A and B are shown apart, each in its own frame.
Chain A
Amino acid sequence: MQLTVRDLCKTYPNGVRALKRVSLQISTGMFGLLGPNGAGKSTLMRTLATLQDPDSGSVEFDAFDVLAHKERLREVLGYLPQEFGLYPNLSAETILDHFAVLKGVTDRRERAAQVRALLEQTNLAPAARQAVGGYSGGMKQRLGIAIALLGRPRLVIVDEPTAGLDPTERHRFLDLLAEIGQDIVVILSTHIVEDVHELCENFAIISHGEVLYSGSPTAAVAGLRGQIWRRMVTRAELPELQRALHVIATRFVAGRPLVHVHHPESPGPGFEPVEPDLEDVYFFHITGRTRRTP
């Protein structure tokens, strides 16, 4: 089972080029899509979820052309949009049951069992009969996840699913995804690096509609080993440093800026080597792009 994305391009009527020749190979397991806000993640997700057509390029899933056979993909698709609303005066149970029918689970007993299990898994069972209009943001998000997992999806696309969740819920959700993600394709877009770090066997970094990196997190980290340096600096030094070196991140530690710099060898005195983590990888690619195209 493999999802192949080739040369997707998309330009919006207002001139924004949301996707620029995006190509990805995604196989079973969790795939993380990491990128800043406005990177084109949601566009890519919506395109993969058959909600909108690209200007050019192709998407292939399991050896069929998705763009030409959208209905076929929809039969195996679970999708959770970034923002969504639900019928406020209906209960979670009713809504799940309805979506299960829409997804083709017409066997009453099967449907009831799955709805019950999903309510349990998303920890909504106690509130299953309450109108969703009264749900908190996190509960609504979990209900959305339950809807995405209804039926028997083989491709699950979740767009920033952990945004509104508290830490406990976030873990529960990621565990749930990991559980079902063992033998299907799960694409998870996020701007939280940790999500990817914890779960994904593969990931891609996307910014301004371009794929900057695609591969496994470990390989990505290994690729930067020995090239990341850090140093405490004064605020006055910062602009000069940013001009001279490839500063990938600046954060404050005890009120003083600590910079991470990418450099093949030691950039100078005072810098000490750091063991890179995924965040460094992410910032390296994001800042690297802006450096290339000032």
Chain B
Amino acid sequence: MTQLLSFARHELAYHLQRPVTYLYMFALLLLSFLYTATGFANMVFGGAVNLDAPWLLNRSVAHVTLIGSVLVSAIAGTAVLRDFEFKTHELLFTTRLRKSSFVFGRFLGAYAVTLLVFACSVIGLWLGAHMPWLDPDKLGPYVPGAYLVPLVFYVVPNTFVLSALFFAVGVLTRSYMAVYVQGVVFFLGYSIAGESLSKLDNERFAGLLDPFGLVPTDLAERYWTIVEKNTLVTALEGLLLYNRLLWIGLALLVLFAAHALFRMDAARGIRGRKPRRWLELEGAARPPAPLPVVTPRRGLAVDLTRLLAQVHFYYLGLVRDRTFLAFVAVGLLFTVHGSSYSDVLWGTPTWPVTYAMTDVIRNHARLFFIILVPLYAGELMWRERALRGDQLLDVTPTSPVAVMIARLVCLALVYATLIAAMIAGGVLVQTIKGYHHYELDVYLGVLYGFYWPELVLLSMIGVFFQIVADHKYLGVLLAFVYWVLVQAFGTWGLDHNLLRFAFSPQVEYSAMNGYGPHVAAAMWFNLYHFATAVLLLVLARPWLMHGTPTGLRDRLRLARARMTRRWTAALALALAAWLGVGGYVYWNTNVRNIYRSSEDEDALSADYERKYGQYQDLPQPHVEAVDVRVDIFPERGHAITVGRFDLVNRHTAPIESIHMLLPHEIEIRTIEFDRPATLVEADERIRYRIYRLAEPLAPGGEMTLRFDLADVREGFGNLGRNAGLVANGSFLSQFSMMPSLGYQRSLELVDDDRRKEQGLPERPRLPSIDDPARATASPASLPPTGSSTPGPCVPPATRSLSPRASCSASGPRAIGAASPTPRWARSAPPCRSSRPATRSCATPTTAWRSRSTIKKATSSTSPPWSSRPSARSTIASRTSAPTRTATSGSSSSRATRNSPWPPRAPSRTPRTSASSPASAPTTPRTSTIRTSSPPTRSLTSGGPTRSPAATPRA
């Protein structure tokens, strides 16, 4: 026993004197701190839950143990390995040491350290929630044990399970590589399994199988109200209790198995595998002969040869490693797993078309690469130093910059290889499912043209952090934390892609429009990010490790010596390129196009409400008929709308003034009435206009409004170009091209927190349907439904909210043409999170025809200034299209924008399948749409809309 304790104490002491342990603690502390201090937790769990709600704490902490599994493998997995590394095992095993003391002692010590490290997450959560800048309303009443329960129910068992598992792998393989990989594999494996788990019919079984205890907790508390979430402490009973007991039991079993299998011998590996036979050669007495004379060369050609040789050398070194094979296997697993669900859309089977497969690869592999890229950057930057071969390399006449470039190129090649493996996986799945139209060009174009550059950029930033940190794991951690923070930038209002490294409008392939209109924008952004990375690397160059400098003074001296004129020139060049490209992009996004951060948009919404909310009940004429002629220039993304509204006063009182809101990005060429009217207010910021009619419109009176509006923006915006305007199947909505009349209550901010931020009072809830006030209210006061969750971030549970569901929820409230249909289709149309049941033709005609469906299917709204599509709105031109046809789209876009690792910018070309009536991309294409009566009210359940006749005129 004393032996055991002594080992445990020794292990603990070892870790406590290592700076990296404190780094781990700090990392988890920071992560948890930011989680609450930035209000990010509210993004994930909903704004109504307090930041110190026991419900939220439990989940946050359980997630931290999941994310931190990599740290556990670093602490517990290596506990026994160190003895082999430092070669103390031969000393130890020849003493009177008992095996159990050694194995369990080391384990206990490592587990204690793990506990200490993970306990920091709770402290971080507490600290974060109590930061002075947070609204005190976000803190609930003191709940005894709120911070203790997650520690006891989740941290203690979860880290025990993880420690036992990783420790056992370390003990049995005696290989750092295995330990290194297992954390990653476990994490990824869990995220795969988690998805399958959620599909299990037997909830209780799924609840038992989750080693982190998240599923049983969710099962027990899924019907909790906000108040319960804020005040109740999870009880350790039922499924959760069984789950915890089961896993602790399993962990003990694993531990004892590891103990039984462990042999105190010098051999590596599980069983007494023969120690590697050292080669030794007979020393034949041979007289030294003169060496052949060679002539080392120098010059550009030699430098190039060297670079290629280095790339080749590193590449071979990496891909021949068994770790790499493990990663390839994981990559394949991801593809196959992801694609096995990708061809079912809302229960309807579709073909695994290639662009759906590329989506699967991009979305599913993202997490994988986010972990892999910093790790590999660290691995490769430290390749020689880890082997202690750096001095041999550094004395060759190869420049350290060339070595760094070779490493970067090698990383790029390695990812290219991984992507190739994933493509092979995709083709395999397609073949198995009997789909043989492989479209390799789409695979290559999407993945190498737009996904791979992102990985290259991430590698560059990873290498940058390695140089700056000059510590392998610190560098990996910095890159990782940075990357997670960048993902969160969006939620803090920093959503300009110029500020978010490696973000660009996401190019998505569609059968109808190929790569869509974002290609140029994505390339410019990528070029800009590339320039950023180059600039950073040039800045870091003086600190690039070379030789054996000791201490900061040496490093500084070396750095100063490296700031030569050539370096300054390179820096100037890189800076110029960065500024040049950045300036061009900025000119496009902010000058030629409108850019607003989400804060700005909220502010606009708030101002709109404050200034014009007074007109909420103002009677406005109804639109009786619409005649519109739209000229579409798909190559440039332009649309010119010339049209007429026939207006009728259906109210009992005369109408004195017409209020209208105009789309922000259009150029107003003409707005005129058929009778004298004066523009009494023109709010250019909000684009709200008030016209006073010289003669009020009497009840029952008719008038017309003519307009000529042009969307002639050049270049690209932050989210790319208007994806609705494309050659084959444009998608236009009334609200991106026509004026809308009256004040639109649906454009007000809905989310309580965001309203508070903007200084708006709490929004009154939906009045009762019998409320007489409601009956007289203007139709404009249609409240959005189902918006209890803040728009951009949808937690996994609600992510899959079916458009049908929301459709029927709001269906009966469909109102006439002038009603405030949400304007989700501005420059960035539909959402990624939910998909139409069947993709179908979205030509202007069908889009228009199915307008009322759209309106109903959309549950939350975005104002005309919003570049953010609402998370759950849907393209719903739901004309029936055949399912399981070769082209019926099945794009997977499971992740939402602000889930921890979201896919990027949401503007998405409508991918449609049925052939478009007007398929020849002529310029301009003009279609005229006429409706003679408001859309019917009969649509309640999202069936195909047969609404007024539409006459396409080419």
Q: Measuring CB to CB, which residues of chain A are less than 8 angstroms from any residue of chain B?
A: 12-13, 46, 49-53, 71, 74-75, 77, 79, 81, 83-90, 94, 98-107, 110-111, 113-114, 117-118, 120-121, 123-124, 126-127, 130, 133-136, 138-139, 144, 147, 149, 151-152, 166, 168-169, 172, 175-176, 178-180
B137 within 8 A of partner (CB): no
Residue from B301, B302, B399 whose CB has the most chain A CB atoms within 10 Å? B302
CA distance A100 to B305 in the complex (A): 11
Picked from B290, B298, B306, B547, the residue with its CB within 8 Å of the CB of A75 is B298
B395 pairs with A98, CB closer than 8 A: no
B548 pairs with A104, CB closer than 8 A: no
Residue from A101, A127, A134, A172 whose CB has the most chain B CB atoms within 10 Å? A101
B283 pairs with A152, CB closer than 8 A: no
Which secondary structure characterizes the binding site on chain B?
A: loop
CA distance A118 to B553 in the complex (A): 40
The interface residues of chain A lying within 8 Å CB-to-CB of B398 are 102
Minimum CB–CB distance from A62 to chain B (whole Å) comes to: 15
A sample of 29 inter-chain contacts (CB < 8 A) reads: A12-B551, A50-B547, A51-B394, A53-B554, A74-B396, A74-B397, A75-B298, A79-B392, A79-B395, A98-B309, A99-B392, A102-B398, A103-B397, A104-B296, A104-B397, A105-B297, A107-B294, A114-B294, A118-B291, A123-B281, A124-B281, A134-B278, A136-B278, A136-B279, A151-B294, A152-B296, A172-B288, A176-B288, A178-B288
Stretch at the interface among B168-176, B187-195, B313-321, B751-759: B313-321
The interface residues of chain B lying within 8 Å CB-to-CB of A180 are 291
Minimum CB–CB distance from A117 to chain B (whole Å) comes to: 5
A111 pairs with B294, CB closer than 8 A: yes
A51 pairs with B547, CB closer than 8 A: yes
B279 pairs with A151, CB closer than 8 A: no
The interface residues of chain B lying within 8 Å CB-to-CB of A102 are 306, 309-310, 393, 396-398
- CB within 8 Å for A139 and B550 given contacts A104-B397, A105-B296, A106-B302: no
- CB within 8 Å for A149 and B396 given contacts A124-B281, A139-B280: no
The interface residues of chain B lying within 8 Å CB-to-CB of A99 are 392, 396
The interface residues of chain A lying within 8 Å CB-to-CB of B551 are 12-13
B769 within 8 A of partner (CB): no
Q: Mark B383-407, 1 if CB is under 8 A from A, else 0.
A: 0000111011111111100000000
B552 pairs with A149, CB closer than 8 A: no
B283's nearest neighbour on chain A, judged by CB, is A168
A75's nearest neighbour on chain B, judged by CB, is B397
The interface residues of chain A lying within 8 Å CB-to-CB of B278 are 134-136
CA distance A198 to B281 in the complex (A): 25
B285 pairs with A168, CB closer than 8 A: yes
B289 within 8 A of partner (CB): yes
- CB within 8 Å for A84 and B281 given contacts A98-B313, A110-B294: no
A90's nearest neighbour on chain B, judged by CB, is B317
B291 pairs with A135, CB closer than 8 A: no
B199 within 8 A of partner (CB): no
CA distance A102 to B395 in the complex (A): 10
CA distance A13 to B310 in the complex (A): 34
- CB within 8 Å for A53 and B557 given contacts A104-B298, A135-B279, A139-B281: yes
The interface residues of chain A lying within 8 Å CB-to-CB of B222 are none
CA distance A176 to B292 in the complex (A): 13
Within 8 A of A (CB), among B309-348: 309-310, 313, 316-317, 320-321
Which 4 A-B pairs have CB atoms at the shortest separation, nearest pair first? A13-B551, A104-B296, A51-B547, A85-B388
CA distance A98 to B387 in the complex (A): 16
- CB within 8 Å for A83 and B388 given contacts A71-B399, A152-B296, A179-B288: yes
CA distance A88 to B278 in the complex (A): 13
The interface residues of chain A lying within 8 Å CB-to-CB of B280 are 136, 138-139
The interface residues of chain A lying within 8 Å CB-to-CB of B302 are 104, 106
B393's nearest neighbour on chain A, judged by CB, is A102
CA distance A212 to B818 in the complex (A): 99
- CB within 8 Å for A85 and B387 given contacts A103-B396, A104-B296, A114-B294: yes
Minimum CB–CB distance from B130 to chain A (whole Å) comes to: 40
Q: Mark B237-274, 1 if CB is under 8 A from A, else 0.
A: 00000000000000000000000000000000000000
CA distance A114 to B548 in the complex (A): 29
B549 within 8 A of partner (CB): yes
CA distance A39 to B278 in the complex (A): 33
The interface residues of chain B lying within 8 Å CB-to-CB of A169 are 283
The interface residues of chain B lying within 8 Å CB-to-CB of A81 are 391-392
Minimum CB–CB distance from A244 to chain B (whole Å) comes to: 42
Minimum CB–CB distance from B612 to chain A (whole Å) comes to: 67
Contacts A117-B291, A136-B278, A144-B392 aside, 17 further interface pairs with beta carbons under 8 A come to A52-B550, A75-B397, A84-B391, A86-B392, A89-B320, A102-B309, A102-B396, A102-B398, A104-B298, A114-B291, A117-B289, A120-B289, A121-B288, A121-B291, A134-B279, A139-B281, A166-B283
Minimum CB–CB distance from B482 to chain A (whole Å) comes to: 29
Minimum CB–CB distance from A174 to chain B (whole Å) comes to: 10
The interface residues of chain B lying within 8 Å CB-to-CB of A84 are 388-389, 391-392
B292 pairs with A101, CB closer than 8 A: no
A98's nearest neighbour on chain B, judged by CB, is B313
Picked from A71, A85, A135, the residue with its CB within 8 Å of the CB of B397 is A71
The interface residues of chain B lying within 8 Å CB-to-CB of A51 are 391, 394-395, 547-548
Picked from A74, A88, A168, A172, the residue with its CB within 8 Å of the CB of B395 is A74
The interface residues of chain A lying within 8 Å CB-to-CB of B561 are 53
B281 pairs with A127, CB closer than 8 A: yes
B18 within 8 A of partner (CB): no
B469 within 8 A of partner (CB): no
A149 pairs with B291, CB closer than 8 A: yes
B391 pairs with A13, CB closer than 8 A: no
Picked from A75, A87, A123, A166, the residue with its CB within 8 Å of the CB of B389 is A87
The interface residues of chain A lying within 8 Å CB-to-CB of B295 are 105, 107, 110, 152
Residue from A51, A138, A176 whose CB has the most chain B CB atoms within 10 Å? A51
The interface residues of chain A lying within 8 Å CB-to-CB of B297 are 104-107
B547's nearest neighbour on chain A, judged by CB, is A51
CA distance A167 to B843 in the complex (A): 87
Minimum CB–CB distance from A240 to chain B (whole Å) comes to: 40
CA distance A168 to B530 in the complex (A): 56
B399 pairs with A49, CB closer than 8 A: no
CA distance A147 to B463 in the complex (A): 28
The interface residues of chain A lying within 8 Å CB-to-CB of B392 are 79, 81, 84, 86, 99, 144, 147
The interface residues of chain A lying within 8 Å CB-to-CB of B558 are 53
B548 pairs with A52, CB closer than 8 A: yes
Residue from B293, B392, B399 whose CB has the most chain A CB atoms within 10 Å? B392
A86's nearest neighbour on chain B, judged by CB, is B389
The interface residues of chain A lying within 8 Å CB-to-CB of B287 are 175
B286 within 8 A of partner (CB): yes
